[in-house]
Amino acid sequence: MVLATFVGAIIGSYIGVLVLRWPSGEPTVGGRSRCDSCQRQLAWYDLLPLLSYLFLRGRCRYCKAAIDPVQAIAEWVGAILCGLAFYHLPLEIAAACALLFLLLLPLALLDARYLWLPDRLVIALALCGLLLGGLTSGGAELIMRLFAAAFAFALLEGLRRLFRAVRHKEGMGAGDPKLFAALALWLSPYDLPLLILIASTLGIAFALFLTFRKQSMQQLPFGSLLAAATVILVFVRL
Ligand SMILES: [Zn+2]
């Protein structure tokens, strides 16, 4: 479990880099990390997963500019979810869940920030779901799950188009139905309505919170909500 937490933090660290660099087309491997503000190259002790952000109190050591918290969030969430999975679940199921969570983490962060669910990540999630999904869903029939995925996609895609036709604006991103279909390969078909219910509840809670704070948002990141709902569902079910 300690090892899983550590590995989760390391992979979370890479996910943080991915989320920060991918949208602008920068290479995500290699290249030393620099402060975005003063361009000074960061030393290894500025880049320690989990700890550096806390020690530096979220500011650059040299110029005191605020550091993007996404990096630290990715590290902490990656570490906690991997640690919890291996603490709670039998080994092979924990490994499958950890993979599921680590694939969902960049999707959730990218959707929350850019309302963007990259197809390549969703396809990776779907392929891993085909191979390993049985472990996280108690081994439902594969054929049934493929049908469920097709139905899940058709349902959300239909709703998305209906909303757009009626309201003349986007209510849901184009990636959300694909993500839901990929998740249908990981989960039991019977759990899918519950997944939507949890995601919607989280969405309503989040929207209320924003209203309460007198903030507004163009569009809720439904992909992030689905990802969070999946984590909750996995821990409730397994
Ligand atoms: Zn700086």
Query: Who's near 198: CB < 8 A, 6+ residues apart?
Result: 229, 232, 233
Tokens encoding 112: 């929350």
Q: What CA–CA distance (Å, rounded) separates 134 from 122?
A: 18
Residues forming a β-bridge with 41: 34
CA 69 to ligand 1 center in whole angstroms = 14
Could you report the per-residue pLDDT of 116-175, keeping only the tens digit for each? Answer: 999 999 999 999 999 998 888 877 788 999 999 999 999 999 999 999 999 888 878 899
CA 12 to ligand 1 center in whole angstroms = 22
- Residues around the ion ligand 1 (C-beta < 5 A): 35, 37-38, 60, 62-63, 65
Query: Who's near 214: CB < 8 A, 6+ residues apart?
Result: none
Residue 137's pLDDT is what?
A: 85
- One-letter amino acid of 30: G
CA 21 to ligand 1 center in whole angstroms = 17
CA 191 to ligand 1 center in whole angstroms = 47
Could you report the per-residue pLDDT of 91-113, keeping only the tens digit for each? Answer: 999 999 999 999 999 999 999 99
CA 53 to ligand 1 center in whole angstroms = 13
CA 56 to ligand 1 center in whole angstroms = 11
Tokens encoding 113: 């920030």
Number of alpha carbons in the 13 Å side-chain half-sphere of residue 158? 6
Is the pTM of the predicted complex or chain greater than 0.85? yes
